Amino acid sequence: MTPAQSALLDCLRPVLGAKGIVTDRDAIAPWETDWRRRFHGLAPALLAPASTAEVAATVAAAAHFRVPLVPQGGNSSMVGGATPPADGSALILSLRRMNAMRRVDAEAGLAVAEAGVILSDLHDAALAVGRRFPLSLGAKGNATVGGLVSTNAGGTQVLRFGSMRGLVAGVEAVLADGSIHDGLAPLKKDNRGYDLTQLLVGAEGTLAIVTAATLRLVPVPATRTTAWAATADPQAALALLRRFSHATETLESFEILPRESLAAVLAYVADARAPLTGEHRWHLLIEHTDERGTALMEELLGSALVDGLIADATIAASDAQAAGFWRLRESISDSERALGPASQHDLSVPVDAMPRFMIEAAAACEARFPGTHASGFGHLGDGNIHFHVRAAPGTDPARWYAEDVPVVTRFVDDLVIAAGGSIAAEHGIGQMKLGELERLSSPARLTALRAVKAAMDPHGILNPGKLVTLARAAPGQ
């Protein structure tokens, strides 16, 4: 521990109390490594304030002593966004003790949740008043509101209600100088200068510490209809997506997966069964909440069958069957991991461009890296897929991750940029993509990112080494 860190802890002890300062190595260890165990850091202490005032005091003191803080919620970042640096220079700022649901207002369709509220608890709190928080993802049992806001999280229901950005009506946050920005009032129109709420959504804790958020709730749908369909190619899937989009405003999911992803799941998950018989190149998982229910689904899938857009389809006959479809979709990452090491890419391109990208990028990767297998699956409706390039059989995992993955990553990222896309669709930049972001951003974007970071966090104490590096100060400044 550095002298500055010791001084900070001395200063915070009366503020945070015994529960609020953790220095026991065993207690800290689980939070020093990301959940995929790809990033390992070191934090001499973990600070756990229990209120906004305590967060403000913590940040003000950290600013005074110039001790960097790494904000952390559920530690479910896919890009090492919540893992402290390895040199022990930063402390972890855990928001998990701030887990109060301050307000749930069914009538207004709003909830005010503190940063440490776990997503599944938010779901439950909304349901308890007959409302729904319409964003979900695999890590819902760990991911917290603060992390979801700070990473502009996505998931499988973005198609209709958008990612977190569209669901956040306001935030409360502590700025880098320890001052509190109270932006929780749910104003539908507010043009008092730059939108600080929108600036903090997706800022990965590098500009301020989000302590609470006002979130939109929507009605619980009376009915939900889920179908599985098979198609020969992604372009046909896009055409079907358009038909659904035009027929209903309640399309909630339109997921695509290739044959090999389904095969991996069927091989890995004990009791998994293929929804359709026969061999199909591509599979679709479609869900809407239109009142017309299965009638609408049958009509659209029926005409798609007639028109040759799809080869086969089945509509879930029960909630259990729908859940079974979703379990197949949600088991892909784990199942593919069992097949061997891969280079994984969370990318987006304009929705129209995605079918072509899926085919051409896979072919380009396999041609460039002989023996690898490349394919993408995910949120076709959002123009966002998870694209995996699996190492050739027999590849040494250590060598693959150390030497090959960076090369594959640059190759894939170049394809994404050429297609007008984003190398960070829903998982953010964190520390994993920082180098690629700087390599591939236009001078204008990079200048703006650095300028905003330097302006909001001039001493670089908020989540250092994530999202963007501070430019070295010019001589004379």
Q: Does 423 bind a copy of itself (CB under 8 A)?
A: yes
CB nearer a copy of itself, residue 375 or residue 384: 384
Q: Which residue number, 368 or 450, has a Cβ lying nearer to a copy of itself?
A: 450
Site for a copy of itself in 138-167 (CB under 8 A): 151-152, 154, 158, 163, 165-166
Residue selected from 449, 462, 463, 465 as contacting a copy of itself according to rule CB under 8 A: 449
- For a copy of itself (CB under 8 A), the number of binding residues is 77
Q: Which is nearer to a copy of itself, 352 or 396 (CB)?
A: 352
Q: Which of 11, 339, 452, 470 binds a copy of itself (CB under 8 A)?
A: 452
Part of the chain binding a copy of itself (CB under 8 A), chosen from 64-72, 119-127, 331-339, 442-450: 442-450
Which of 144, 384, 409, 463: binder of a copy of itself (CB under 8 A)? 384
| Three-state secondary structure of the chain | CCHHHHHHHHHHHHHHCHHHEECCHHHHHHHCECCCCCCECCCCCEECCCCHHHHHHHHHHHHHHCCCEEEECCCCCCCCCCCCCCCCCCEEEECCCCCCEEEEECCCCEEEEECCCEHHHHHHHHHHCCEECCCCCCCCCCCEHHHHHHCCCCCCCHHHHCCHHHHEEEEEEEECCCCEEEECCCCCCCCCCCCHHHHHCCCCCCCEEEEEEEEECEECCCCCEEEEEEECCHHHHHHHHHHHHHHCCCEEEEEEEEHHHHHHHHHHCCCCCCCCCCCCCEEEEEEECCCCHHHHHHHHHHHHHHCCCCCEEEECCCHHHHHHHHHHHHCHHHHHHCCCCEEEEEEECCHHHHHHHHHHHHHHHHHHCCCCEEEEEEEHHHCEEEEEEECCCCCCHHHHHHHHHHHHHHHHHHHHHHCCCECCCCCCCCCCCHHHHHHHCCHHHHHHHHHHHHHHCCCCCECCCCCCCCCCCCCCC
* Per CB under 8 A, 180 contacts a copy of itself: yes
Binding span for a copy of itself by CB under 8 A among 83-91, 301-309, 333-341, 446-454: 446-454
Sole binder of a copy of itself in the list 139, 328, 374, 437 (CB under 8 A) = 437
Contact call for residue 248 and a copy of itself (CB under 8 A):
no
Q: Is 443 in the site for a copy of itself (CB under 8 A)?
A: yes
Q: Which of 11, 35, 137, 177 binds a copy of itself (CB under 8 A)?
A: 177
Q: Which of residues 207-246 bind a copy of itself (CB under 8 A)?
A: 207, 219, 242, 245-246
Q: Does residue 37 interact with a copy of itself by CB under 8 A?
A: no
Stretch 323-352 residues interacting with a copy of itself (CB under 8 A): 348-352
Q: Does 53 bind a copy of itself (CB under 8 A)?
A: no
By CB under 8 A, the residues from 89 to 128 that bind a copy of itself are: 105, 107-109
Counting contacts by CB under 8 A, is residue 307 touching a copy of itself?
A: no
- Report the residue number, 162 or 324, with the smaller CB distance to a copy of itself: 162
Candidate segments 15-23, 69-77, 310-318, 426-434, binder of a copy of itself by CB under 8 A: 426-434
User: Can residue 468 be called a binding residue for a copy of itself (CB under 8 A)?
Assistant: yes
Contact 117, 101 (CB under 8 A): yes
Q: Which of 188, 270, 273, 320 binds a copy of itself (CB under 8 A)?
A: 188
Shortest CB 188 distance to a copy of itself, Å? 4
